[in-house]
Structure 1
Amino acid sequence: MAQRDVVVPGGMDSITDIVEMAQHAEAHGFGRVSLPEVTGRDGVTLLATLAERTNHIGLSNDVFSPWGRSPAVLGQTGVTLQELSDGRYRMGLGTSSPDLTERWHLAEYEQPLRRLRETVELVKQVTAGERIDYDGEFFEGGGLQLRGADATEVPVDVAALGPKAVELAGRFADGWVPQLFTPEALAERMEDLERGADLGDRDASDLRVAVTVRSCALDDAERARDVAARQLAFMIGAYGPYYRQSISRQGFESETDAIHEAWDDGDRAAAVEAVTDEMVEELVAAGTPEEVRETVERFEAVDGVDAVRVGFFGEMTGDQRRRTVEVLAPDA
């Protein structure tokens, strides 16, 4: 049976709230907790704090930008967090987005897949204790190696949506973290992961596939679906091009075009109105506790899925998140 994990939402009120959510997930039997890093709190500090204040739950991040830290610093971060957590850490990397790269990290967003590949390969060199030696398009040279800390395995999970990015995850990384797929589209995208694994002379079954399913379990099912629709409108309309393109390819082209057009026009209400019931039913888990459980189980049933990561929607209150965690808890 697939493991269940929890994704801590960004923008929580305090570090204490983040710690309490991780401890709540641990107490209810979840296997892993993941933290975001966008323009808010530093993810490394938060992960170090959780390593000290939890006992056995796995720790991950969503996701470190390859423009935000050098590969060497990422490698140092990985071995340090692995030591601090007694081996509970998995690193999350992704291509990030043009908006975050250019407006936050003040870097040029070019050849994101190539930069991600080189970052993954260099992180592997650093954490293995090898002397850095690399000849790439973004990174070239080397000569030094990790000192003052033990080399250790740091699994790297890649957050990816498109076929080439998923292929990259299969070829170079240790796991794939997808989001906002229908179960059917997720199953189809597994073929890209398997192709990548073949190219890397690897076994796809050794890769950890952990799909994020944003969830909201309320007795008022209509309220839960409204919350989900507003989040989907935001992610399609405003949150970079990748989610829109991915969802469009899954059979929602006219819907995503309408959402994006309305959002660009500043008509947020029309953008939300363009989110269909089918999109909510297929891409996320929102409704009564029983409906949400059934949706999550559909994702768990996809061949190759090792974990479902329970995510949330921005409008949810702390009590609603806690309730959803309890509804979907492995010990429920």
Structure 2
Amino acid sequence: MTFDAALDGTLMLSDHSTIDEAVAQAGRYEDHGFERVSMGEVTGWNIVPVLTAIGRETGIGISNDVFSPPSRSPAMLAQTALTLHEASDGDYRMGLGPSSPALVERWHSGEFEPALRRTRETIDIVRAVYEGGKVSYDGDVYELGGMGYDRQVPDDPPAIDLATLGPKAVEMTGRFADGWVPQLFTADGLRDRLEDLERGADLGDRSVDDVRVAPLVRTFAHEDGDHARSMARQMVSFLVGAYGPFYGNSVAEQGYPEAVEEIRAAWEEKDTAAMAAALPDEALEALAAAGTPEEVREHYRKLAAIDGVDAVRCAFVAGMSQDDKETTMATLAEL
């Protein structure tokens, strides 16, 4: 089975004590043939300076996972995107997503709902800024007008990718966004959602081929496959049980409702060992690429073979050493 997709990489900024270290890791991805590198923004660094440094000091494309509208106004998101586009010589893709109630309400002091409507209106406003001139918008969530971006807008403004999970959200992605970055999907679950993406593209009178699909996969290649799976199990179970409700809901809908319920119950007791134990081997194998180098490459090949997938985004597992990361990047470079 061949691998006919691009490789994207993801930085775990919590693993890096300085911005220079993060830039160096992005350079390692580039050296291994990865096309793009992205990173998340939760409650740590503001990632815009980090992305700027990577854009200026390397040749790899840059993305983010993800900016939530309550963290920045739509106009500021447009300004940020255009600035990062300039910093990367036109190779930036902006990642947007509804985020989670905990982050929006407890960190940004915003209101989570109406999450999808807010995301849709944010896309509208960003695109209005891209068009140049004064921006006027009267929506259900946002209302602004009378001012405009005061620099020249490039002919090829940054693409907008969405990180969405549910049917309606993915349909919205197909209708309005330039890319989709799903996470924690089995191959069958991804195929089902790609039908929602195609329906959205049809509603928007667009081609789904114009939407760059890049599933993000927790990845750990190690000669001791059991060691890699053990560490990945801890990470995946934490995402399912503790990282907001949406990942868990999605995994449950993909065929693992009992496991999700058990993982969430263990999280209530903050029993991370029990969370990991509750994740079935079958689910781990389907949701993550963890094991021997060949097992990891096979997982990537299967995802790339799904009609509609354009790239696979490697995300490391918490606790991996730098040697582990080097082995994993080298493993994927052989695809």
- TM-score for the superposition, normalised by structure 2: 0.96
Amino acid aligned to 2:101: P
The answer as to whether partners of 1:76 and 1:127 remain within 8 angstroms in 2 is: no
CA 1:290 to 1:26, structure 2 compared with 1: closer, same or farther past 3 Å?
same
The DSSP-based 3-state class of the residue aligned with 1:147 is coil
Of 185-194 and 138-147, the range deviating more from structure 2: 138-147
CA distance in 2, matches of 1:19, 1:319: 17
CA distance in 2, matches of 1:193, 1:319: 37
Match of 1:183 among 178, 187, 192: 187
**Deviation string for 1:77-126 (max 9, x for gaps)?**
11111112111000000001000001110112111000000011111111
Of 110-119 and 312-321, the range deviating more from structure 2: 312-321
Match of 1:12 among 5, 12, 15: 15
CA distance in 1, matches of 2:224, 2:198: 40
How do residues 188-203 of structure 1 correspond to structure 2 at under 5 angstroms? 188-203=192-207
The DSSP-based 3-state class of the residue aligned with 1:143 is strand
How far the C-alpha of 1:241 sits from its partner, in A, is 0.2
How far the C-alpha of 1:10 sits from its partner, in A, is 3.2
1:3 corresponding residue in structure 2: 6
2:69 corresponding residue in structure 1: 66
How do residues 29-108 of structure 1 correspond to structure 2 at under 5 angstroms? 29-55=33-59, 57-108=60-111
- Aligned pair count? 330
The answer as to whether partners of 1:2 and 1:308 remain within 8 angstroms in 2 is: yes
1:309 equivalenced with 2:309 (yes/no): no
The answer as to whether partners of 1:78 and 1:127 remain within 8 angstroms in 2 is: no
The DSSP-based 3-state class of the residue aligned with 1:62 is coil
CA distance in 2, matches of 1:113, 1:206: 21
CA distance in 2, matches of 1:206, 1:268: 41
Match of 2:280 among 249, 273, 276: 276
How far the C-alpha of 1:271 sits from its partner, in A, is 1.2
1:226 equivalenced with 2:224 (yes/no): no
The DSSP-based 3-state class of the residue aligned with 1:90 is strand
Identical aligned residues as a percent: 50
CA distance in 1, matches of 2:15, 2:125: 32
CA distance in 2, matches of 1:151, 1:129: 10
CA distance in 1, matches of 2:305, 2:123: 29
How far the C-alpha of 1:267 sits from its partner, in A, is 2.2
How far the C-alpha of 1:260 sits from its partner, in A, is 0.6
Of 242-251 and 227-236, the range deviating more from structure 2: 227-236
The answer as to whether partners of 1:66 and 1:93 remain within 8 angstroms in 2 is: yes
RMSD: 1.1
The answer as to whether partners of 1:79 and 1:149 remain within 8 angstroms in 2 is: no
The answer as to whether partners of 1:210 and 1:308 remain within 8 angstroms in 2 is: yes
Q: Which runs of 5+ in 2 are unaligned?
A: none
1:122 equivalenced with 2:121 (yes/no): no
- TM-score for the superposition, normalised by structure 1: 0.97
How far the C-alpha of 1:321 sits from its partner, in A, is 1.3
Q: Which runs of 5+ in 1 are unaligned?
A: none
Amino acid aligned to 1:221: G
CA distance in 1, matches of 2:89, 2:172: 28
Match of 1:140 among 143, 168, 186: 143
CA distance in 2, matches of 1:236, 1:115: 25
The DSSP-based 3-state class of the residue aligned with 2:122 is helix
The answer as to whether partners of 1:90 and 1:154 remain within 8 angstroms in 2 is: yes
